[in-house]
Amino acid sequence: MATTDTSAKQQASASIRKMKADAEAGAEDAAKAVKTAGRKARAKASNLEQSLTRSAEELAASVNGHLKSVGVDTDRMVDVAKEQATDLQKLIAQEIQERPLRALGLAAAVGLFVGFLSAR
């Protein structure tokens, strides 16, 4: 009877070792599959990004060409927009320097307003 118990224990131990080895091999296979899928996904995302970038550049060039053909000076429009943005930045900086508490209050009010909107 003792030999049977020992034999059964050895068989159980061997089965457990085999199951453990199988589980480890399965985990390694799964990890490899995930890595491969990740690489493929990154490659596809990169290709998609490049394609979208090319399409956006082509669209911008096309629109720019059409606007120029109609007589719209897009370069001048860009310059004017930059000037207005610079003027706005200067105006905001001046307002903050002259009235810091008022600027802080306005920023807090805008923050509350945006918070209420995003909570909905």
For the chain, 120 residues long, give each residue's pLDDT as a single digit of tens: 556 777 888 888 888 888 888 888 888 888 888 889 888 888 888 888 899 999 999 998 898 888 888 888 888 888 889 999 999 999 989 988 999 999 899 899 999 999 999 887
- Does 110 share its domain with 89? yes
Max CA separation in the chain (angstroms): 103
Helix (H) or strand (E) holding 88: helix 74-98
Q: Distance between CA 99 and CA 92 in Å, rounded?
A: 10
- Does 81 share its domain with 117? yes
Domain ranges, residue 86:
73-120
pLDDT of residue 67: 83
User: Considering its fold, how many domains does the chain have in total?
Assistant: 2
| Model confidence, pTM | 0.43
Contacts of residue 95, defined as CB under 8 A and 6 or more positions apart, other chains included, come to 102, 103
- Does 80 share its domain with 62? no
Confirm if 74 and 67 have CB atoms less than 8 A apart.
yes
- Does 77 share its domain with 64? no
Q: Distance between CA 75 and CA 65 in Å, rounded?
A: 12
- Does 82 share its domain with 67? no
pLDDT of residue 60: 86
pLDDT of residue 2: 55
- Does 57 share its domain with 80? no
- Does 79 share its domain with 107? yes
